Amino acid sequence: AQRVTQPEKLLSVFKGAPVELKCNYSYSGSPELFWYVQYSRQRLQLLLRHISRESIKGFTADLNKGETSFHLKKPFAQEEDSAMYYCALMNAGGTSYGKLTFGQGTILTVHP
């Protein structure tokens, strides 16, 4: 069964410090991974997806198949990055293509 683990429930950093939100996954096939973010009082929204290798709002995430990880990183955190972050794995085939399995989320707080 597929599983996504975010080991940190809470993460606090100061503005300008580097931040890394950890995500590990378990999946038998070739994974498709995403990071979603939920700012206060806003809907859940896509931050980035590993397949596009993009950087959004200064965040990047690299898929490491050997370590089955997809950690989210940003070199210099900003106060506006404070939010709940979810790592998610997508079923890449079969009838449930598109189903997302989410981790439990990490609340990031960036202090001034």
The site for another protein (CB under 8 A) is made up of 4, 32, 34, 36, 43-46, 49, 51, 86, 88, 90, 95-105
Closest CB 16 distance from another protein, rounded Å: 29
The residue (of 26 and 76) whose beta carbon lies closer to another protein is 26
Closest CB 43 distance from another protein, rounded Å: 5
* 79 within 8 A of 110, measured Cβ to Cβ: yes
CA 105 to chain centre: 8
Closest CB 67 distance from another protein, rounded Å: 21
DSSP track, 5-50: E---SEEEEETTS-EEE--EEE-SS--EEEEEEE-TTS--EEEEEG
